[in-house]
């Protein structure tokens, strides 16, 4: 089958089955271009909660599919490749996180959306990188907080809010990989370029960034900026939308530490391909299923997140 035929078949199956294709900014460009909606992890959750489609194909990683299923249990949720995981979610097994919570009683538990449904079920409020600051700010100043699993995001939010949240020590393998030296060299060669970084990056990188924010925030910042050049320290997939919205600007992917490749990609995100998306719609698998007892517990902290986000217009 040619690529054009695959694209045509995806379009026909989507219509025939009343399916919606939601894609994260880190997906391959071809997937982003055929999706009904492309967004960050918060936006994908909001779409999953409100869609009237019968089927959601979540082109992203497993926790994103789970979040969609938790919010829309009556819909069938598929993901093109079931092995598309997340190193942050993997860094926080539910049994170990539960032990950590029990060792630190009287703390409210905040979890990054990059977690399994079982971890969300142990959580009071879920956050994404778009709303973490507003959610932490919404809590009483003397509230003791556990934050997991991303230590870099947690540390950054501690700095922004003046809190002292207890941090789980997880990291994202992609954002942990960026080379500060190579980024500073790029900056030397492009002195007018602004450095944009995702808060999953280590502190030393965030300190040299001109803007720190979620994928959607980075995109918005670049679009609203008068500057013409940007060094982008997050997964390189986001650059597709940046270029689409800003054809007159230049986006330089920040390089990883030890690789011959100039950009940094999440191999989990890149497991999804156009062909797998087609097969997924055609065969209606692999399907995301969430144990109902876990789902009932996990939906509460996600809904709390959506409520607080909505109050802040996010």
**DSSP conformation letters of 198-214:** -TTS-HHHHTT-SEE--
Determine the Cα angle at 140 with ends 136 and 144, to 5°.
Answer: 75
Which residue, 14 or 69, has its beta carbon nearer to ligand SF4? 69
H or E element, residue 244: helix 238-245
Residue 268 contacts which entry, ligand SF4, ligand 13P, none (Cβ below 5-8 A, type-dependent): ligand SF4
Residue 13 contacts which entry, ligand SF4, ligand 13P, none (Cβ below 5-8 A, type-dependent): none
Give the footprint of ligand 13P on residues 173-202 (CB under 6 A).
198, 200
Cα gap 108→125, rounded to integer Å:
8
Query: Could you tell me the smallest distance in angstroms from the CB atom of residue 296 to ligand 13P?
Result: 25
CB 85 within 8 Å of CB 268: yes
Is residue 91 near ligand 13P by the rule CB under 6 A?
no
Stretch that binds ligand SF4, among 134-142, 172-180, 205-213, 245-253 (CB under 6 A): 172-180
**DSSP conformation letters of 267-311:** TTGGG--HHHHHHHHHHT-SEE---HHHHHHHHHHHHHHHHHHHH
Nearest to 268 by CA among 2, 79, 111: 79
- Contact residues for 126 (Cβ-Cβ < 8 A; gap 6+): 110, 111, 112, 113, 115, 120, 301, 302, 304, 305
Query: Could you tell me the smallest distance in angstroms from the CB atom of residue 284 to ligand 13P?
Result: 26
Cα gap 218→209, rounded to integer Å:
11
- Contact residues for 168 (Cβ-Cβ < 8 A; gap 6+): 91, 92, 97, 100, 146, 147, 148, 149, 150, 151, 154
Is residue 129 near ligand 13P by the rule CB under 6 A?
yes
**3-state SS assignment for residue 58:** strand
Stretch that binds ligand SF4, among 69-77, 166-174, 188-196, 220-228 (CB under 6 A): 166-174
Nearest to 116 by CA among 301, 269, 307: 301
Is residue 88 near ligand SF4 by the rule CB under 6 A?
yes
Give the footprint of ligand SF4 on residues 280-309 (CB under 6 A).
none
Query: Could you tell me the smallest distance in angstroms from the CB atom of residue 310 to ligand SF4?
Result: 24
- Kindly calculate the radius of gyration of the chain based on its CA atoms and give it in whole angstroms: 19
Among 128, 131, 264, 309, binds ligand 13P (CB under 6 A): 128
Residue 87 contacts which entry, ligand 13P, ligand SF4, none (Cβ below 5-8 A, type-dependent): ligand SF4
Among 91, 131, 161, 214, binds ligand 13P (CB under 6 A): 214
Is residue 110 near ligand 13P by the rule CB under 6 A?
no
Is residue 53 near ligand 13P by the rule CB under 6 A?
no
Among 41, 91, 152, 161, binds ligand 13P (CB under 6 A): 41
Sites of contact with ligand 13P (CB under 6 A): 40-41, 114, 128-130, 172, 198, 200, 214-215
Sites of contact with ligand SF4 (CB under 6 A): 61, 86-88, 114, 172-174, 200, 235, 266, 268-269
């Amino acid at each position: 089958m040619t690529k054009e035929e695959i694209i045509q078949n995806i379009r026909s199956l989507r219509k025939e089955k009343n399916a919606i294709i939601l894609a994260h900014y880190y997906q391959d460009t071809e997937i982003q271009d055929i999706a009904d909606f492309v967004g960050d992890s918060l936006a994908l959750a909001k779409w999953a909660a409100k869609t009237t489609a019968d089927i959601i194909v979540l082109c992203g990683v497993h926790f994103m599919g789970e979040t969609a299923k938790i919010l829309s249990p009556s819909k069938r949720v598929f993901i093109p490749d079931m092995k598309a995981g997340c190193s942050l979610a993997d860094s926080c097994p539910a049994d170990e996180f539960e032990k950590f919570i029990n060792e630190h009683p009287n703390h409210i538990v905040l979890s990054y959306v990059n977690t399994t449904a079982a971890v969300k079920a142990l959580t009071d409020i879920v956050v994404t990188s778009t709303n973490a600051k507003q959610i932490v700010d919404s809590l009483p100043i003397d509230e003791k907080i556990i934050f997991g699993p991303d230590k870099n995001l947690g540390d950054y939010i501690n700095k922004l809010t003046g809190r002292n949240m207890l941090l789980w020590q997880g990291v994202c393998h992609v954002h942990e990989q960026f080379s500060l030296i190579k980024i500073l060299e790029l900056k030397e060669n492009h002195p007018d370029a602004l450095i944009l970084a995702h808060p999953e990056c280590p502190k030393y990188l965030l300190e040299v960034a001109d803007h720190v924010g979620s994928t959607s925030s980075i995109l918005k910042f670049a679009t609203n900026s008068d500057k013409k050049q940007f060094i982008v320290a997050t997964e390189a997939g986001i650059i597709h939308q940046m270029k689409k919205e800003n054809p007159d600007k230049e986006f330089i992917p920040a390089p990883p530490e030890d690789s011959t490749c100039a950009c940094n990609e999440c191999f989990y995100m890149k497991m999804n391909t156009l062909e797998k998306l087609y097969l997924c719609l055609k065969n209606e698998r692999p399907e995301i299923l969430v144990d109902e007892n876990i789902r009932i517990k996990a939906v509460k902290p996600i809904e709390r997140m959506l409520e607080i986000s909505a109050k802040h217009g996010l």
